[in-house]
Structure 1
Amino acid sequence: MNRRSPRLMLALAAAGALAACGQKEAPKSAAATPAPKVPGKTYARDPYPSTYKAYPGVPTLVRNVTVYDGEGGRIENGQVLFAGGKIVAVGQSVETPAGATVIDGTGKWVTPGVIDIHSHLGDYPSPSVSAHSDGNEATSPVTADVWAEHSVWPQDPGFSRALANGGVTTLQILPGSANLMGGRSVTLKNVYARTMQGMKFPGAPYGLKMACGENPKRVYGGKGRQPSTRMGNVAVNRATWMKAQDYGRRWAKYEKDGGEPPARDVAMDTLRGVLDGEILVQNHCYRADEMAIVMDMAKEFGYKVSAFHHAVEAYKIGDLLRQNGTCAAVWADWYGFKMEAWDGIHENLALLHKAGACAMIHSDDSNGIQRLNQEVTKALTAGRNAGIQVSDELAWTWLAINPAKALGIDRVTGSLKAGKMADVVLWNGNPLSVYTRPEKVWVDGALLFDMNNPRLRPVSDFELGQPGLGDAK
C-alpha cells in the first residue's frame, strides 16, 4: 500500500500550521548577509544556518506536580507556567493568566526536557541498513572537514521514539569514533522538520568529535598506516594541531591587516574554531590515563575538552576532570566489551558526582535514548548501594543542566528557570521508576507529544497496529 510516512505527514502539517500563524522560514543561506570589508573568522560562518522556528504553542499551567527543576531543586505540589515558548514561572503559587490551558498533574512529575549529549540518530537511522550508515567517514584518521549535520535524515523514526518514550527534547548528533578527529557535531531540537536546518538548535556552538584509544589505531593500523598504536594516536593529533595553529596565525594576520587571503581549508577552519574556543571538543575516550594525556595535549595547544564521552574509567580521575572544567558523559553499566572498557564500574557516575565533576548520562544508542531516565536510576542505585547519597532531584542534573553546560547551551535550556526555553516533560509517575513514561512533552512550549491524544502520538512506517493504521493481525 502506498502511503506517506506519518512522521512526514506531521512535519508537513506543522509547516502548514507555521504558515497559518504567519511565521516564515529563515533564509536557507547566509548569502544575503553582507560580507564585512575585512573577513571575519571563517569558521564562524555557517553556510547552513538554522531555520528552526518554534511550533505554535499556547500559555499553559501545569499544577499539583512534583517539580525537578534540572539544577538540583525540588518543589512539592508545584506549578509550572510557560507561554510564548519560554518558562514564565515555577513555584508553589503561580498566578494563572486568563485563557491559559490548565493541566492538573496530581500524582505526576514535571522536569525539563531530557538532553542527550551523544546520539547518532539521523546519521545511523532506522531501518539499520548499510545504505543508511552515514556516521563514520573512515577514510582518514583526520576528517575534521566533515560535518555530521550533512548526514542527518530528519525522517529517522528514532527521533519521535526518543521524544515520546524518553522525553528527549535536545540531542547532539556526532560523527562516529573511527577517526582521531571525526568532524563537526551538531545540536538539534527534537522537532518534526523536513530539513536538518529546521531542527538545528539556534545559536548552539558546534562540536568537534575526537576519539582516542582502540578505535582509530585499530581502523588505521589495520590498513597498514599511522596510527597503529596509542603513541601514534597522539603523534598524529599533535602534528595536526601544529598545522591548525599555523593556519590560525595566517588567517589572524589577514583579518588584522588585510591583503591576499590565505587558502581556505575546511578541516582547518574547524580546528581553528576549536583553538579560538568557538567549537567545543567532544572526545570519545575510555581509559583514565588517556583522558589525562588528552587534557595535557589540550593545554599544550591552548584548547579545552568540553566532555569525554563513554569515559568508563572517569571515576579514577574525577578530581582532574573537576580541575580542568571537563565533563564526563557516561553509561550506567556498559563496560567490559573490549579491553579499554574492561575496568568500568556501576558506581562511575555517582563517584564523579561525589568528586564534584560535571557528569551526565548519555545514550550512544537508538534504544537507550528512549530510557535515559531509567539509566540514571541504575547509576543512582549503584551509588547509593556504595554509600554515595545523591537525591533524586540532584540526579536529574545528569539529564538536564550538566549536558546543557557541556553543549554550551545552558543559558537557554537545561532547567525550568524563567526565561529559558519551555522544553518540558510531564511524567505519569516518578520519572526514576521503570513503570513511568512521558505523558506530555512540550518543545518551546508547543505540545508535540500527548500519550492520551492519538493525533499527537507519533508512529512510523515500521510499526503496525497503531491508531488509524488498522489492527495488526
Structure 2
Amino acid sequence: MGRIRFGSAIAAAALLAAPMPGGAQMLTPLWRENPFPSRYRAPAPDDMLLRGATILDGAGGRIDGGDVLVRGGKIVAVGKELDNPGVREVDARGRWITPGVIDVHSHDGTFTQPLTDIDREASDVAEVATPNAADTWIETAVNAQDMAFDRALAAGVTTIQVLPGSTPIFAGRSVIVKPVRATTVWGMKVADGVQGFKMACGENPKSWGASKDNEGPTSRQGVIAYMRQAFLDAQSYGRERAAGKVGRDLKKEALLGIMAGDIRVNLHCYRAGDIAAVLSIAREFGFRIGAIHHATEAYKVPGLLRESGTCAAVWADWWGFKMEAQDAVRAEAPLLERAGVCVMMHSDSPADGQRLNITAAKAAAAGRRIGIETAPETMIKWTTSNPAKLLGLDKQVGTLAPGYRADLVLWSGDPFSIYSKADLVLIDGAVAWDRATPASMPVSDFELGRGGVR
C-alpha cells in the first residue's frame, strides 16, 4: 500500500523534519516516535520438514501432496519431494498447511472476558471522555493475561491487531501482537508493520454526544463535520509548529501522521453513505483509508473502494443487531472479491477470533448459493495475505514462500471445515501450539483453577 502525498499538512510535516540553519535539526515529528518499543523476542526455532500436505500458500497457489521446509525461523522452501537437510520430519499426509491466520480487528486484552461479563467497568476498550482520543495508544491498556490470546493461538491465529473501540470519532493507535505468553503486551508486540489508527463513523460516535454533557456531535452530519474540522485544525497546527509558534499537541500530531501516510486508518463504518462520506474526507485531506471495518453495505459501493485502494474487513453473518446493520448480506465477501475489492475477514469478538476460517467458509457458501464460486486458494487470502497487506507485513507473513517468517498452521483437515483443528501452530518457526500435547502449552492466569483448559 503506497502513500498519497497531498496538502499543506504534508508540507508542514516536511518542515518539522527539515535541517535548520547552521546544521541544527528540528525534532522528528512526534507521530513517528514509538514511546512503547517491542520487547518480543522470537523463541529458538524448531527446524522441520512438513511432508505430503495439501498446501494453500496464501498467494493464490495450491500444492497437493506438498512439502514445507522450515529452518532458522524462516520458510526455506515450498514444493514437492523436497530434500531433507537433516531436520525433524513431520508426516502431514491427509492434512493441510496454510499461513497463520491474521485477525485485523480484535479487542483481546481490553474487553477481557469473563471480567466484562461481570462488570462493564472492567473494559478499557476505548477512552470515551472525548470524541477525539487521537493521542491514546491501546497497547497501554492491553491485559496480556487475557485467555482470548491463548484460544486464538489454538485456533491457528498467529497475528492480531488490537484496536480501540468505536465510541470516539478518533479512537487512537492500534497495536499488532503475536498471541504468545508474555507478562506485558510489549512482550507480544510486533516491531515491524505500519502503525494503525482507529476512526469511526455512524451510530457509535454520534451516540457519544447524545449521551454526554460535554461537547460532541449527535448526528451523522455532525460526525463528518467534526472530522473535517479536526483535520483542518491539524493542518494549521502543522504550519504553526513548523514556525515554532506552538508547543506539541499529541492529538494533532496523530492526525498529521495520518495525512502524511505514516499512520494507517482502520475505519469503523457500516452504511454505504457513511463509507462514501469518509472516503471523500480522505480525498480532501490527501490520505488513504486502509480498510473499512464491518462495512456491511460495502457491497453497494465497490467502485469507491477500488478507486481509493481501500480494503473491506467484513463478517459473514453479523446483521440486524443495530439499525445501520439492517441491510447486510451474507455473501458480501465473495461479492466484493468478484468486484475486485481487497477483502478480508475480521472478528471483533474473542469468539469469532477463534473461527475466522469458518467465517470465510460461511461467506463463500453464501456466495455459492447465488452463483459465485470461490476456490479455497482465494478464500485463504481473506484470512492471511490480504490482512498482512493492511498491517504492512505482507513481505514477512501471510504467505508461504522462501524468506518469509515461518508463521504457519498444520490443520487436521480442510481448514474451511468445522471439523478441522489446528494440529500444529508455528510462530517464527517455533512450535507455539501442539494439539498432541496441550498440557505442555503455557496457560493464562485467568485459566488457573477453572478445570479443563481446552
Q: Using structure 2 for the length normalisation, give the TM-score.
A: 0.91
Report the Cα distance in structure 2 between the residues aligned to 1:348 and 1:58, rounded to whole angstroms. Answer: 39
Contact 1:451 1:457 in 2 (8 A): no
Are 1:361 and 1:372, in contact at CA under 8 Å, matched by a contact in 2?
A: yes
Q: 1:131 & 1:104 partners in 2: Cα distance?
A: 48
* Residue 148 of structure 2 corresponds to residue 141 of structure 1: no
In the alignment, is residue 87 of structure 1 matched against residue 75 of structure 2?
yes
The equivalent of 2:346 in structure 1 is: 362
- Is it true that 1:294 corresponds to 2:278 in the alignment? yes
Which residue number in structure 1 is paired with residue 289 of structure 2?
Answer: 305
Aligned twin of 1:220: 209
Range with greater deviation from structure 2 (216-225 or 430-439): 216-225
CA apart distance, 1:458? 4.5
Counterpart CA distance in 1 for 2:423 and 2:272 is 40
Residues 320-329 or 455-464, more deviating: 455-464
Residues 208, 216 of structure 2: 8 Å contact kept? no
Structure 1 residue 412: Cα displacement? 1.2
Paired residue secondary structure (1:170) = strand
Map of 2:11 onto structure 1: none
User: Are 2:452 and 1:466 equivalent residues in the alignment?
Assistant: yes
Q: How many residues align?
A: 425
SS in 1 for 2:94: strand
Equivalent residue for 1:104?
91
- Residues of 2 paired with 1:163 and 1:173: CA distance? 15
Mean Cα deviation higher: 399-408 or 448-457 = 448-457
Q: Is the 8 A contact 1:421 1:445 kept in 2?
A: yes
User: What is the deviation of 1:42?
Assistant: 1.7
CA contact (8 A) 2:51 2:93 kept: yes
- Equivalent-residue separation in structure 1 for 2:46 and 2:245 (angstroms): 50
**Matched letter for residue 410 of structure 1:** D
* SS of corresponding position for 1:106: coil
2:318 counterpart residue number: 334
8 Å contact 2:181–2:442 — kept in the other structure?
no
Give the counterpart letter for 1:466 in structure 2.
G
Within 1, Cα distance between the matches of 2:377 and 2:150?
26
Code of the residue aligned with 2:43 in structure 1: it is: Y
Q: Name 1:44's counterpart in structure 2.
A: 32
1:434, CA displacement in angstroms?
0.6
3-state DSSP of counterpart to 1:107: coil
- Tell me which residue corresponds to 1:115: 102
Q: Which moved more, 1:453-462 or 1:74-83?
A: 453-462
RMSD: 1.6
1:13 is aligned to none
Aligned to 1:12: none
Report whether the alignment pairs 1:245 with 2:222: no
- Of 396, 402, 405, the match for 1:418: 402
Determine the structure 1 residue equivalent to 2:46: 58
Partner amino acid, structure 1, of 2:84: T
1:153 maps onto 2:147 in alignment: no
CA–CA separation in structure 2 for the residues paired with 1:103 and 1:180: 49
CA distance in 2, matches of 1:124, 1:153: 9
- Aligned counterpart, 2:307: 323
Deviations 1:255-300 (A, max 9, x none): xxxxx57411111121111111010000000001110111111010
- On the 8 A contact 2:139/2:175 being kept in 1, the answer is yes
What is the match of residue 21 of structure 1? none
CA distance in 1, matches of 2:40, 2:450: 31
Residue 372 of structure 1: how far off its partner (Å): 0.9
- Provide the rounded CA distance (Å) in 2 between the counterparts of 1:235 and 1:320: 21
Where 1:171 maps in the other structure, the secondary structure is strand
The answer to whether the Cα contact below 8 Å between 2:130 and 2:216 also exists between their aligned partners in 1 is: no
Task: Give deviations 1:378-406, integer Å, cap 9, x for gaps.
Answer: 00100111111110111100000111111
Change (3 A) 1:389 1:45: same
1:395 and 1:407 map into 2 onto residues whose CA distance is: 19
Unaligned runs of 5+ in 2: 1-23
Q: CA deviation at 1:125?
A: 1.4
Q: Map Cα deviations across residues 306-365 of structure 1 (whole Å, 9 max, x no partner).
A: 000000001111121111100000000001111110000011111000001000100000
Q: Distance in 2 between matches of 1:168 and 1:454?
A: 16
Kindly state the Cα deviation for residue 210 of structure 1 after the two structures are TM-superposed.
0.4
**1:448 touches 1:456 (CA, 8 Å); kept in 2?**
no
**Which position in structure 2 is the counterpart of 1:4?**
none
Instruction: Give the structure-1-normalised TM-score.
Output: 0.87
Matches of residues 321-470 of structure 1 in structure 2 within 5 Å? 321-460=305-444, 461-462=446-447, 464-466=450-452
Structure 1: any 5+ residue segments left out of the alignment?
A: 1-35, 255-259
1:19 match: none
Identical columns (%): 46
- What is the distance in 1 between the residues matched to 2:175 and 2:356? 20
Which aligned runs of 4 or more in structure 1 are off by greater than 6 angstroms?
none
Q: Partner amino acid for 2:107?
A: H
Q: Work out whether residues 449 and 456 of structure 1, in 8 Å CA contact, stay in contact via their aligned partners in 2.
A: no
1:69 aligns with 2:57: yes
Structure 1 range deviating more: 204-213 or 222-231 = 222-231
The question of whether the paired residues in 2 share the 8 Å contact of 1:459 and 1:466 is answered with: no
Match of residue 204, structure 1, among 183, 188, 193: 193
Q: Which amino acid aligns with 1:242?
A: L
Tell whether the 8 Å contact from 1:80 to 1:89 is kept in structure 2 after alignment: yes
